[in-house]
Amino acid sequence: MDASRQVNQAQDQAQAQGTVAGRVAGKVAFITGAARGQGRSHAVRLASEGADIIALDICHSIDANPYPLATSDDLAETVRLVERTGRRCLPFEADIRDRPALDRAVQAATAELGGIDIVIANAAISPQGHPEDADWVFRETIEINLVGQYQTVHAAVPSMIEKGHGGSIVLINSTAGLGGEGGNGRAGVDGYTAAKHGLVGLMRTWANWLGEYSIRVNSVHPSGVDTPMIRNDSMLSYIREKGARTGGRAANLLPVRLMKPSDISDAVLWLVSDEAKYVTGVTLPVDAGFRVK
């Protein structure tokens, strides 16, 4: 029997016995925006490495976002893919702006799965191509992409502290959180960039707040990722306009136009694993060289 087959058999046996070998084995991960795209990828990847998943998504569209958001069927598919790894997945439909709903989800999930070890604050909108340049678009973007992330972390942290095993929080950010390229003065762009910069500040102050509990806080900053957030008419129009305005400087340095969600999941898994046990307060670009130009 070759080595790969032995490893696969050992993993199958461990799953059958209720224990899983993996880099986050036995952990509980709370992931927002989990119904599709990056959120689904992070959920499946962490599950494949032994984590049980709390998968939360709004599962309906909103006016501030110019393309359709995920659905209940999308969330059900995430559950199916996680459970196919042999791990548990509890789905919740909630708006991250709704703190009571987040609290109820955390309470119900921890009662069944135990305390939270990992938070992936991934839920966000991308309204740069919104056709309406209005204050309400800016405000809604801040509410979702910044205040919603604040609500997510504050809902989950008490469980992490009570569990007493430390943990890891990863804020899914953007290269827009580290620079100002692509600005055009419109509400969607201003709101998105302001929120992403604000998340860097929250990440840094949370790293200081939670260090005494051995809870690490970091942010990941991708450039374009091949998800519905990019592949929609409003975003593609904005990208074309930005490229024309910046003379092509909006492209990645490495020869890849869009990264895969799994490419970002690789970095997320490393950050939440013991391999990064002393990494906190870091803004980690996973951007094919976009930011170094």
The residues annotated as belonging to the active site are 192
Q: Tokens representing 78?
A: 């995430």
Largest CA distance in the chain: 64
Give dist(CA 211, CA 203) in Å, integer. 12
Give dist(CA 38, CA 47) in Å, integer. 14
- Paired strand residues for 218: 170
Task: Single out the residue of 242, 257, 245 nearest to residue 289, CA to CA.
Answer: 257
Q: Tokens representing 11?
A: 């993993």
Residues 198/219, Cβ–Cβ less than 8 Å: no
Residues 132/81, Cβ–Cβ less than 8 Å: no
Give dist(CA 121, CA 147) in Å, integer. 11
Give dist(CA 92, CA 107) in Å, integer. 12
Contacts with 181 (C-beta within 8 Å, 6 or more apart), sequence order? 175, 242, 246, 249, 250
Contacts with 284 (C-beta within 8 Å, 6 or more apart), sequence order? 218, 219, 220, 221, 267, 271
Give dist(CA 90, CA 55) in Å, integer. 6
Looking at residue 287, its amino acid is D
Contacts with 209 (C-beta within 8 Å, 6 or more apart), sequence order? none
